[in-house]
Amino acid sequence: SSHHYSADVSAETIRLTGFAQYKPGMQVNLEKAMQANSRFGGHIVSGHVDGVGSITKVITHSDYIEFWVKAPDELAKYIAHKGSITVDGVSLTVNKVNGSEFMLWIIPHTLQETVMRHYQVGTRVNLEVDVIARYLERLMLGDKAAEPQQQSDISLAFLAEHGYLKR
């Protein structure tokens, strides 16, 4: 069996991800895609990178490691307590959120099987937010989705106006 893997990486991928910092010999997380006829466990991961975050705190507990990650501000709206997020290709549960920072509890098995065992303060990580949240945001635009937009029109006022919030 081979101990290496090669892939083409586009200029856009280099620009939008943390791959520019990778060097020959560094480990990455690889996982086979779930088959459509399998039992579903976890969340839908497409393999896209929505932004690059960085590790801000690493706290060792007796039976897990606590990682705090600072996400780009534009992704904060997609990150929810007990929601799903993908960090360097690993599907995880968000344990706490504070603004654009979120906390993960990583168990020993996950540390052993992923590159997370190498994380330290300052490590840059590729983030993928939950795709259902992205689709929901787009769906809530309704007919406005067909209009060119610089940024999302979703706001608390928009949600209240369309009956999603009590006034």
- Return d(Cα 53, Cα 70) in angstroms, integer: 5
Q: Domain 11-129 maps to which CATH number in 2.40.30.20, 2.10.25.10, 3.30.70.141, 3.90.320.10?
A: 2.40.30.20
* Tokens describing residue 72: 């780009």
At residue 125, the pLDDT reads: 95
**Taking the chain, what is the end-to-end CA distance rounded to the nearest angstrom?**
62
Q: What is the pTM of this model?
A: 0.75
Under 8 Å between Cβ of 80 and 94:
yes
Q: Which of 57-61, 116-120, 138-142 has the lowest mean pLDDT?
A: 138-142
Delimit the domains of the chain by residue range. 11-129, 131-167
Under 8 Å between Cβ of 47 and 89:
yes
The alpha carbon of residue 69 and the mean position of all alpha carbons in its chain are separated, in whole angstroms, by 10
Q: What is the pLDDT of residues 101-137, one digit of tens each?
A: 999 999 999 999 999 999 999 999 999 998 888 889 8
At residue 118, the pLDDT reads: 93
Amino acid at the residue 10: S
Kindly list the distances between the CA atom of residue 25 and the CA atoms of 4, 21, 89, 104, 127, in Å, as whole numbers in the listed order: 9, 12, 18, 27, 22
At residue 61, the pLDDT reads: 95
